């Protein structure tokens, strides 16, 4: 039975508890600042609350929807920043500087999914994973990426396509 989000705070809290870490982790990865990440996640959960949508917390629907909102909001926030701030964020995006103490006890299934996606990303040729990460996590358009990496637009799009195709094959192959 589905729960109605808007108006049922307890149902909403279940959704929050299940997905807040993933939402915060995505926003933090993209924005690199805890305060900005919290703002984006709070906005996204308020959209969920106000939507009044029915959902089944055990299914992936609300998670994908929520993370989509977080992603869009984070991209908006990135694109509002001045160019030099974005460059700096870009420079830092190559390395993960996350304190180990903050790692969470995510559910085993989520860990497995994360391992598979990271593994699939890691298996990509660096030139393909680079353009995908710059686009998705960095919020850059293909023309900005082309300018940054000094390569033709068509090459950037082509690498995105090859990379997503390869990721899809890897993930389908990893699925039970």
Partner 1 sequence: MTVDHDRYADDLAAYALGALSDAEAEAFERHLTGCDACARELEQARAVVGALPAAVPQHRAPPQLKRAVMRAIARPARERRRLSPRRPALALAGGLAAAAVAIGAYGLGASLSGGTREVVAASIDETRLPGARAALAARDDLGVLRAERLPRPSAGQLYVVWVDRGQRPIYASSFNVRPDGSGEAGVPELDGVERVMVTRERSTAVTAPSERPVLTVEL
- Give the C-alpha separation, 139 to 107, whole Å: 28
Does 62 contact partner 1 by CB under 8 A? Answer: no
- Give the C-alpha separation, 116 to 173, whole Å: 10
Does 95 contact partner 1 by CB under 8 A? Answer: no
Q: What DSSP designation does 58 have?
A: T
Interface with partner 1 (CB under 8 A), residue from 2, 50, 59, 88: 50
Does 154 contact partner 1 by CB under 8 A? Answer: yes
Interface with partner 1 (CB under 8 A), residue from 2, 3, 24, 148: 24
Interface with partner 1 (CB under 8 A), residue from 47, 90, 148, 149: 47
CB of 24 to partner 1, least distance (A): 4
Interface with partner 1 (CB under 8 A), residue from 14, 18, 32, 38: 38
CB of 1 to partner 1, least distance (A): 21
Does 110 contact partner 1 by CB under 8 A? Answer: yes
Does 68 contact partner 1 by CB under 8 A? Answer: yes
Interface with partner 1 (CB under 8 A), residue from 18, 32, 113, 151: 113
Q: What are phi and psi of 54, to 5 degrees?
A: -80, 150
- Give the C-alpha separation, 66 to 60, whole Å: 10
- Give the C-alpha separation, 176 to 172, whole Å: 9
CB 123 within 8 A of CB 166: yes
Does 15 contact partner 1 by CB under 8 A? Answer: no
Report which of 50, 23, 51, 52 is spatially closest to residue 39, judged by C-alpha positions: 23
Does 89 contact partner 1 by CB under 8 A? Answer: no
Instruction: Show the tokens assigned to 23.
Output: 């939402």
């Amino acid at each position: 039975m589905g729960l109605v989000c808007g108006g049922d705070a307890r149902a909403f809290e279940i959704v929050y508890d299940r997905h807040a870490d993933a939402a915060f982790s995505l926003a933090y990865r993209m924005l690199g600042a805890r305060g900005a990440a919290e703002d984006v996640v709070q906005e996204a959960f308020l959209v969920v609350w106000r939507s009044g949508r029915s959902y089944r917390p055990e299914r992936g629907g609300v998670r994908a929807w929520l993370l989509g909102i977080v992603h869009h909001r984070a991209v908006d926030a990135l694109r509002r920043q001045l160019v030099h701030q974005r460059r700096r964020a870009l420079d830092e995006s190559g390395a993960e500087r996350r304190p180990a103490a903050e790692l969470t006890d995510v559910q085993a299934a989520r860990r497995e999914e994360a391992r598979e996606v990271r593994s699939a990303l890691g298996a990509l040729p660096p030139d393909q994973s680079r353009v995908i990460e710059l686009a998705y996590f960095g919020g850059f358009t293909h023309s900005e990426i082309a300018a940054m990496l000094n390569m033709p637009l068509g090459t950037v799009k082509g690498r995105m396509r090859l990379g997503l195709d390869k990721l899809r094959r890897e993930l389908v192959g990893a699925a039970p």
